Copies of this chain bind each other. A is one copy, B any other.
Amino acid sequence: MRKPMRKPIVSSTETKTAINEEPIKEPRGARRKRKTRQKLLNAALRLMAENGMEGVSINEITEEADVGFGSFYNHFPSKEAIYETLQEEMIGQFGDAIDAQLALIEDPAEKISVALRHTMLHANHNRDWAKFLIREGFSIQAMSSGLGSRLARDVSQGMISGRFRKYDPEIQVLSIGATTLAWMSIQLQSPTANDEKNFGERLVQSSLINLGIAEDEASQISQVPLPAAIEDDSL
């Protein structure tokens, strides 16, 4: 993976915080409450990335977050609820941030390239996020919602516009998604192996070729400087 060319911009979460909350000077109680919520989310992400939702108890989450057991229920009614919040905030908001960038790009092939490379970059910076995504990744839900549905949308649009070869969009999405998760998995195990072999760029290139883009053009599009990194330091 190439390094981003420009400085990372703030994520959508941080933007919202910066615009909506900080200037108004958040009351101390509200700030403390928000911090506790964030601690619980961080802890749940770490634990659920490692052991899945089933393999984690509320008690373990509050222990890991270093907050009282009871305060969990001030923020989330159940373990399922914090898990859903994670999906929404960690995956949904990342998807929204990507989508905001894709809206500025016209070429469907470049959209796919930017989306995949940002996803790999984000996984690189956030191991728990990557693990959580790998765990989520092959579920049927993931194919029909989350990042999979966004990829499906971009692949379909490229086929409709005639930019991509019209061929089995569902299998194309499954294959691109699965290969990206395999990349993440190798990255988690051995960052250097991935870097040396330049798997990320080759993965983008090969995905574009499978969608019908010529080899040279696919190579060039897979190396266009990324608009900006989407880094969410809030988690």
Contact = CB atoms under 8 A, between A and B. Distances in A.
Interface of A: 134, 137-140, 143, 167-168, 170-172, 174-175, 177-179, 181-183, 185-186, 189-190, 193, 197, 199, 202-203, 205-206, 209-210, 215
30 contacts: A134-B138, A137-B182, A138-B182, A138-B185, A139-B185, A139-B189, A140-B186, A140-B190, A167-B206, A167-B215, A168-B202, A168-B205, A168-B206, A170-B202, A171-B199, A171-B202, A171-B203, A174-B179, A174-B199, A174-B203, A175-B179, A175-B182, A175-B203, A178-B178, A178-B179, A178-B181, A178-B182, A179-B179, A181-B182, A210-B210
A137 B181 CA distance: 11
Residue in A139, A174, A178 whose Cβ sees the most chain B Cβ within 10 Å = A178
A209 B175 CA distance: 13
A186 B209 CA distance: 26
Nearest to A51: B55
Contact of A138 (B171, B181, B193, B205): B181
A199 B139 CA distance: 14
Contact of A174 (B140, B168, B177, B182): B182
Nearest to A141: B189
A202 B51 CA distance: 32
A158 B170 CA distance: 26
Given A140-B193, A167-B206, A167-B209, 8 more contacts: A140-B186, A168-B206, A170-B197, A172-B206, A174-B182, A174-B199, A174-B203, A181-B182
